[in-house]
Amino acid sequence: MRNAIVGQSGGPTSAINATLSGVIKACCKSSRIDKLYGMKNGIEGLLLGEIVDLSYLYEDEKALSQLENTPSSALGSCRKRLPNLDGDISAYEKLLAILEKYDIGYFFYIGGNDSMDTVKKLNEYVKQRGISLVVVGIPKTIDNDLVITDHTPGYGSASKFISTTIKEIACDCSVYRVNAVTIVELMGRDAGWLTAASALPKHFCGLGADLVYLPEVPFYEDKFIEHVKEALKKHPYVVVAVSEGIKYENGEYVGAGKQSGATDAFGHKYLAGTAKQLEALVREKIGCKVRSVELNLPQRCSAHILSDTDINESISIGKYAVRLAEEGQGGKMVTMVRAQGEYKIEYSCVDASQVANKVKLVPKHFINEDGNNVTEECINYIAPLIMGERKISYENGMPVHFRIG
């Protein structure tokens, strides 16, 4: 028996700790894995030797159940990438020395497409050197933009929060008799998956986002104003959902005018202010009451309203990753495969190299012809992912969260 280590990387989600719990539960039962360690702040902490023994959580059902309902990355996160293998490989040597010290034979990395790059590179490195280390990637991202897997853990809970909040906002906005437009900005720089979830309440309950704009289709100001005017003819309140990443035909971000100019560690520009831009546009062109709302961080951390489907899948995918590791399937990322007919997910895997650095956009047939809403096929794709409510424990009127160490 050898030991295993697990890390979390990239932007946190409400479901990434459920996957961690799944890994812990499966390692506990494994006949090949002894101790499970956690790297603090992903490979950034690992390179500093910051490791915590997670075996104390084996079979602590209560702690694991709390962990499953805790948002954010309980082990901490990082946005560090490993260098290319044809460059300076000292980081790899350092990393392997630490893993050897702890007799680690299994390496689990939970993250998005940037993290799958780490899985791919580390796997190539150990293969080249003949080192016995099974590296397995486990997907997570609220953005749902990983290729091949049917969807990603974390997306369902984010979508449940978004569809619920859009429904509540539409309720709130529908009380006055004067024309009023409310523009809600959702996360999603390139892919409109989160914004698409805002279409659910109107479809199922008749009250929600009247117009939905995704970054997959070019945004035209004049068409947008026409759509809003049309919608105002039906009822005085109009709710518009827009992705932060919508772009004009020339590729320029709509929010560019008011964005902060800051960039993250990978050079991606922070976008903010798309809804604010459209608010100003509606005020100028239509002149009615208008306001903008940015749902912001709560989209990825509102663990008080988790999708039970999402959390159960997130646990299962963690367990399945351990099975892959036991089978020696290095360099793989676990995937979810949706069965035909009634909603059901089975787990499989794919080479992490096929996922790394790629982005899955909302396909054309999920978007309507006018480019201002999603199709029923899209609704049918998202709807099962938000089903079920997780039972949350409260203390002092607030949800209980679990902290490691």
3-state secondary structure of 109: strand
Q: How far is 36 from 169, CA to CA, in rounded Å?
A: 44
Minimal distance, residue 397 CB to a copy of itself, in Å: 4
Closer of 16 and 24 to a copy of itself (Cβ)? 16
Interface with a copy of itself by CB under 8 A: which residues? 8, 12, 41, 44-45, 70-73, 76-79, 160, 163-165, 167-169, 171-177, 182, 200-201, 204-205, 207, 260, 262, 270, 279-280, 283, 289, 291, 293-298, 300-305, 307, 383, 386-389, 392, 394-399, 401, 403
Token pair for 402: 């679990």
Phi, psi (5° rounding) for residue 312?
-65, -40
Minimal distance, residue 204 CB to a copy of itself, in Å: 4
Bridging pattern class, strands 180-186 and 211-213: unpaired
Bridging pattern class, strands 104-111 and 237-243: unpaired
Catalytic, 143? Answer yes
Q: Tell me which of 114, 117, 143, 310 is the catalytic residue.
A: 143
Minimal distance, residue 208 CB to a copy of itself, in Å: 9
Minimal distance, residue 134 CB to a copy of itself, in Å: 26
Closer of 86 and 262 to a copy of itself (Cβ)? 262
Closer of 26 and 207 to a copy of itself (Cβ)? 207
Closest by CA position to 39, among listed 70, 3, 90: 3
Closest by CA position to 347, among listed 3, 69, 19, 57: 19
Is the C-alpha dihedral spanning 145, 114, 351, 159 positive or negative? negative
Closest by CA position to 382, among listed 139, 148, 163: 163
3-state secondary structure of 336: strand
346-380 burial code (b ≥16 CB/10 A, e <16):
ebebbbbbebbeeebbbeeebbeeebbbbbeebbe
Token pair for 64: 């694991």
Minimal distance, residue 296 CB to a copy of itself, in Å: 5
Strands across the sheet containing 211-213: 211-213, 237-243, 180-186, 289-294
> Exposed (0-12), middle (13-18) or buried (19+): which is 393, by Cβ within 10 Å?
exposed
Closer of 72 and 152 to a copy of itself (Cβ)? 72
Which DSSP string do the residues of 381-403 spell out, in sequence order? HHGGGG-SB----EETTEE----
Closer of 305 and 361 to a copy of itself (Cβ)? 305
- Taking the alpha carbons at both ends of the chain, their separation in whole angstroms is 25
Q: How far is 216 from 247, CA to CA, in rounded Å?
A: 9
Closer of 135 and 173 to a copy of itself (Cβ)? 173
Closer of 264 and 327 to a copy of itself (Cβ)? 264
Query: Annotated active-site positions, please?
Result: 143
